[in-house]
Structure 1
Amino acid sequence: STQSPVIFLCLCLTMEIASSAASQESQDSTTPTSQSVYQSALSTHRMPCLSQFLGLMESSSECGYCPPKKTRKQRKRKIGAETTLLSEDGNDSSKEISVPGSKPKISTTISQFLTNCAPHIYDAIMNKNWRRCGDYFYFPKNDITCCPQYAIRLDVRSFQLEGRGAVGKKQRGVWNKMGRYLEVLEQGRDMHKEHEQNEISTGTIDDEDVEMKDSHQEELNQKYQQELDRVRERVLVVLRSAITKFSLSRGNLISQIPQFESQDWMRDGLQPSNRKNVHLASNAMIKLFGMAKKNKLDLGFKSVSDLTHSFVDNVLRNESTDSGILSVEATKNGWINFQLDHMPAPPPFADVSITGKEFKKKAKSSSSKKHTSEEVRRLIDNGLEVTLSRAKYDEEEFQLYKKYQMAVHKDPEDEITSKGYTRFLIESTLVPVSDARLPFGGYGTFHMQYRVEKTKQLIGVSVVDILPTGWSSVYFFYDPSFSFLSPGVFSVLYEIDMLKEMCKKHPDFKYLYLGFYIHTCQKMRYKGEYGPSELLCPETHTWVPLSTATKVLDKAKYGRFQPDPSVPRYDANINHADDLLLLVDRSLIPAKFLLQEKNFMQTEECETLTKELLLFKRTVGEHSAKEIAYYVSSLG
């Protein structure tokens, strides 16, 4: 083939690129030892990083961070080109209205798909304001997008939990509360162990008896669970029958919901309750209302509360007579509470969690001694089981994710699929690099599980990318029943503490990347509380103290953070794309060869491709652009 010398040359160049440890864009991010280790580990990976560049993308909808639209109820008037938000007839409805003279809110990004992305490449372009979701990478066009998003990072060596005003007090409160919770949880276990040791020391029982008691405890736990399952099944029979009759009374409308036939949603939503005189609680009507709304079926009720009260008063209460159900009540938020004639009690010292109310009660009744920071850390280290492993599908994690999305983000259950979860948080385009000499044993995408040591209950999962310069947070989800412990805040504090320890061995592995800081969105400003943080200047792609950047953002949503006027724009000296590699028809070709060879492309096509390549090179950075093969779909 006439192209074979070119292809061979490009393949050799690409393999050399793929085996280099860190680009200059990572700003000497690793120590020489870490760099050489990384080079050696990455050298076995011969596939080039490939970009399918999409260019400038405008979303047809808002980004999700925009403030809510103005409503007539706000009665807020505008002056000049904008009109009043109160209608001429004085109608006080909450209907959303447009404001003449205002700009439409459109989310605008530069986007691409990357495959076989080496960790140091992502590290470098992340320092250019790129972030990823799976293999989709996006660069917010902050000068024109609706809600500018700025990369934020923390040098963990500078973080101090002690003595940092109101924010520090809140964070210390979260840290101490977790330690106190684990202490209270362990006190029950300690009392049990102390009782056993007393019996052993007095000769009442021996070690063999203790083993028999542990075995007996396990039998009691299993028996309790079996009895609980039988009671739940008895209530489920009544609940299914009542919903079927209720559906018939509504013209069999409910049975038209596709998800209705799979009745797992009824079983999953019926759980034990800790409320007084309530044994079981069901969210069946909440789920039913949501499924009907999603399928655009009008059940004839304005709210889930109306639906639940009608169902209980007209059908369920009559259906539950002579079934062991003493009472059934509908709550205003859509739950159904059951009181039973018999409810199995958890056995002594059973592995059951402590609720938020129980924790507060036990914490007050126990010792009021304040612990030092070292004692709190010891309580956390002994009470939590934290494990880090490469991202892979885990059913227990998926069920926790599902529970979290439904409770916290109000996602409909039928929209949360294992396939979507896998695509979002399992699949990763980052090349996994493993070596025990690297921080945490390698780079790539990982899941870190938080479990209560005593109960082995999974309470939270951090999804992270481990890169040459630090730890990039991707997503965190947790068991909503532990929300009283502020697990999101705690996980950040724990990971900062963990990174500080790792930094002692790997001094350049020092940054915690928390994604994007959005100054125009109040709920996203919390990332700035882990200080002293830095924001990436959108004009120079240099890191600036958050305190300096917010002075600019308080005046305008976009601007230059870098105060030094001598620092040039990030794209000031990038005027050509001749030094890039293109993938065309499975062949790697230097861009210079293709752009200058008029036989391959028309002038207009050549100009368009040149503009795209320049946009790509300017946004990912000159050095990273040379390490990525740019995919061209076709010629001519």
Structure 2
Amino acid sequence: MSVSIVQYFGEQNSKCGYCTGTNCSRSHGMHAYRLACDDYQELIDRGWRRCGNYCYKPQNNVTCCPCYTIKSDALEFKLSKSNKRILRRMNKFLRDGKREPGESTTPQNGDGDDIGNGVNISELQPQLPDKKPSVIDVEHVENLAQSRGEQLKTAKNLEPLESKTGDGDHSASSQAANKCKLTNSNPPRKKAKQMRLERRQAKLGIPLEQAQTKTMTQEKSLRDFLSAASETDKHKLKIVLVAASDIQRSCTDAVHALYRKYQIVIHNDNPARLTLSSMQRFLVESPLKHEKKEDAPEMGYGSFHQQYWLDDKLIAVGVIDILPGSVSSVYFFYDPDYSFLSLGTYGSLREIDLVQTIAERVPALKYYYMGFYIHSCPKMRYKGKLSASYLLCPETYVWLPLTDDIRSKLDAQKYQRLNPVVTDKDVNEFLNQHLDDVQLLLDARTCITYQRFIRMAGAFGERESIIEYCKLVGKVCAHRMVYVNMS
């Protein structure tokens, strides 16, 4: 089993990529040497995101542009008219081999028809801190932590039964139940659809139930649109899934050239910064260890690239993490010459299709994480246009449907607790009495609990920083992950 190893950097202040304010974007940061996929799923369900090996969690109550984690239930997802229009446009282009007259290749920066056209499906690359992580032998530390974990487990099994019946850890099932308490409360269905069906019933003189059945049978699914390719098509679009760690395929000249072109044209980035090594740090390096288990999807868990090949030309790359409960979008970049195909949105629909495909084998993996929803930045509201979308409450970490009511509240005040149940608390809250069991790495060969660290070193100076970290990652991860405490 993989062991997560992290080094906490504390509070970080930087320039904001959304409002372009100076030193007003506030977050907590840490370097991840290694992350078990289960642990990273826990972390993103507490508002964390990764950029390469750097993990960050916005301080939403004080930062300039609050960032709310957003996800879509892929099994409840419904295509909008705009989604269908984009899918038909792609299918027509593949079939006929040419774009429609009047379709511009100029990238658009609005949030109109295409929710991802000219804007990433994921948030901008965060400014990395000046701090450098300590140099450690990750494999050795992982073995050390695993050995230490076995010792602690053996010691706890020998404890009297009474010592195990306190408040204890919240079980995964109870935690999931609390998290899903508000998740499953879908917004009410619009009445307009019912009225249309009733008008259709009156016009055709058929029972309402029959009209509903007929309407449902005519509704094309996402899979129907994506499987419309024919042998007679002028163009062939092939989606290839590549492990990010396979640098022979994830770091080719074609990938780097596409990344440079996208960043320069779409984000007006400085070409001097767009080196192969910078792309690797941002999009290729990952702390997630590729894991294959019996109940895992065929490709396993970990970090991957979805490469979009139009005939023999690479036109887009989606960087994703496949986790036990979700597919998480890290970044998406494409050839600006093909902006008329709305590749940002098309890529998100392809990733939702991937979730739906995996869910057929792994039912628990049914969510598509889009990164952050930034309501205070109008250009970043496009993520909320996907149906069956939910926002994470930044205080209680439960999911709530993204409704017009929540949008109105965010219009009135950019930071909101979101969860309306005032008595609800974080079920995975870390309390000070949980500190003793936190694992610390002191040097290359010493991995001990905080309790033993205090007895041995008497170093109370680290206490506040360790507690802050533990509260941010939650009790589950605070006890499972190894905290690097090396100077």
Q: TM-score, normalised by structure 1?
A: 0.53
Q: 1:620 aligns with which of 459, 469, 473?
A: 473
Distance 1:572 1:589, change over 3 A: closer
Counterparts of 2:416 and 2:383 in 1: how far apart (Å)?
20
- What is residue 170 of structure 1 aligned with on the other side? 82
SS in 2 for 1:152: strand
- What is residue 510 of structure 1 aligned with on the other side? 366
- What is residue 557 of structure 1 aligned with on the other side? 414
Distance 1:120 1:571, change over 3 A: closer
- What is residue 286 of structure 2 aligned with on the other side? 428
Distance 1:408 1:436, change over 3 A: farther
- Deviation readout 1:518-560 (Å, 9 max, x if unpaired): 1111111111111221111011011111115324312211121
SS in 1 for 2:227: helix
Stretch of structure 1 that moved more, 373-382 or 410-419: 373-382
Q: 1:378 aligned to 2:227?
A: yes
Counterparts of 2:273 and 2:390 in 1: how far apart (Å)?
37
Preserved CA contact (<8 Å) 1:445 1:463: yes
Counterparts of 2:288 and 2:256 in 1: how far apart (Å)?
21
Paired AA for residue 87 in structure 2: W
Counterparts of 1:419 and 1:375 in 2: how far apart (Å)?
40
Q: Report 1:213-362 matches (<5 A).
A: none
> Which segments of 5 or more consecutive residues in structure 1 lack a partner in the other structure?
1-18, 20-44, 70-103, 162-167, 188-273, 275-370
- What is residue 393 of structure 2 aligned with on the other side? 537
Preserved CA contact (<8 Å) 1:552 1:560: no
Distance 1:620 1:563, change over 3 A: same
Q: How far off its partner does 1:437 sit?
A: 5.6
- What is residue 49 of structure 1 aligned with on the other side? 4
Q: How far off its partner does 1:573 sit?
A: 5.7
Higher relative contact order (CA 8 A, sep 6+): 2
Preserved CA contact (<8 Å) 1:58 1:108: yes
- What is residue 355 of structure 2 aligned with on the other side? 499
Preserved CA contact (<8 Å) 2:95 2:230: no
Q: TM-score, normalised by structure 2?
A: 0.69
Q: 1:456 aligns with which of 305, 312, 321?
A: 312
SS in 2 for 1:554: helix
Counterparts of 1:113 and 1:450 in 2: how far apart (Å)?
30
Paired AA for residue 131 in structure 1: R
Paired AA for residue 385 in structure 1: K
Name the % identity.
36
Counterparts of 2:453 and 2:52 in 1: how far apart (Å)?
31
- What is residue 109 of structure 2 aligned with on the other side? none
- What is residue 139 of structure 1 aligned with on the other side? 57
The structure richer in helix per residue is: 1
Q: How far off its partner does 1:507 sit?
A: 0.9
Counterparts of 2:237 and 2:430 in 1: how far apart (Å)?
51
Q: How far off its partner does 1:412 sit?
A: 2.9
Counterparts of 1:110 and 1:381 in 2: how far apart (Å)?
49
Preserved CA contact (<8 Å) 1:183 1:379: no
Distance 1:505 1:585, change over 3 A: closer
Q: How far off its partner does 1:375 sit?
A: 6.3
Q: Report 1:201-220 matches (<5 A).
A: none
- What is residue 399 of structure 1 aligned with on the other side? 257
Counterparts of 1:129 and 1:496 in 2: how far apart (Å)?
21
Paired AA for residue 282 in structure 2: F
Q: How far off its partner does 1:571 sit?
A: 7.2
Preserved CA contact (<8 Å) 2:440 2:449: yes
Distance 1:414 1:532, change over 3 A: same
Paired AA for residue 394 in structure 2: P
Counterparts of 1:427 and 1:159 in 2: how far apart (Å)?
31
Paired AA for residue 574 in structure 1: L
Q: 1:129 aligns with which of 23, 47, 52?
A: 47
- What is residue 449 of structure 2 aligned with on the other side? 590
Preserved CA contact (<8 Å) 2:429 2:475: no
- What is residue 206 of structure 1 aligned with on the other side? none
Preserved CA contact (<8 Å) 1:149 1:517: yes
- Deviation readout 1:147-202 (Å, 9 max, x if unpaired): 111110111011111xxxxxx22121111100111110299xxxxxxxxxxxxxxx
- Deviation readout 1:425-467 (Å, 9 max, x if unpaired): 1111111113586224201110111112xx3221111011111
Q: How far off its partner does 1:565 sit?
A: 2.3
SS in 1 for 2:16: coil
SS in 2 for 1:520: coil
Counterparts of 1:122 and 1:381 in 2: how far apart (Å)?
40
Preserved CA contact (<8 Å) 2:429 2:474: no
Distance 1:438 1:570, change over 3 A: closer
Counterparts of 1:381 and 1:112 in 2: how far apart (Å)?
48
Distance 1:584 1:375, change over 3 A: closer
Q: Which has the larger radius of gyration?
A: 1
Paired AA for residue 11 in structure 2: L
Distance 1:384 1:145, change over 3 A: same
Q: How far off its partner does 1:105 sit?
A: 6.0
Q: How far off its partner does 1:497 sit?
A: 2.2
Q: How far off its partner does 1:142 sit?
A: 0.6
Q: 1:159 aligns with which of 56, 69, 77?
A: 77
Counterparts of 1:124 and 1:381 in 2: how far apart (Å)?
42
Preserved CA contact (<8 Å) 1:57 1:111: yes
SS in 2 for 1:505: coil
Preserved CA contact (<8 Å) 1:571 1:618: no
Counterparts of 2:388 and 2:315 in 1: how far apart (Å)?
29
Counterparts of 1:497 and 1:154 in 2: how far apart (Å)?
12
Stretch of structure 1 that moved more, 541-550 or 470-479: 541-550
Preserved CA contact (<8 Å) 2:316 2:333: yes
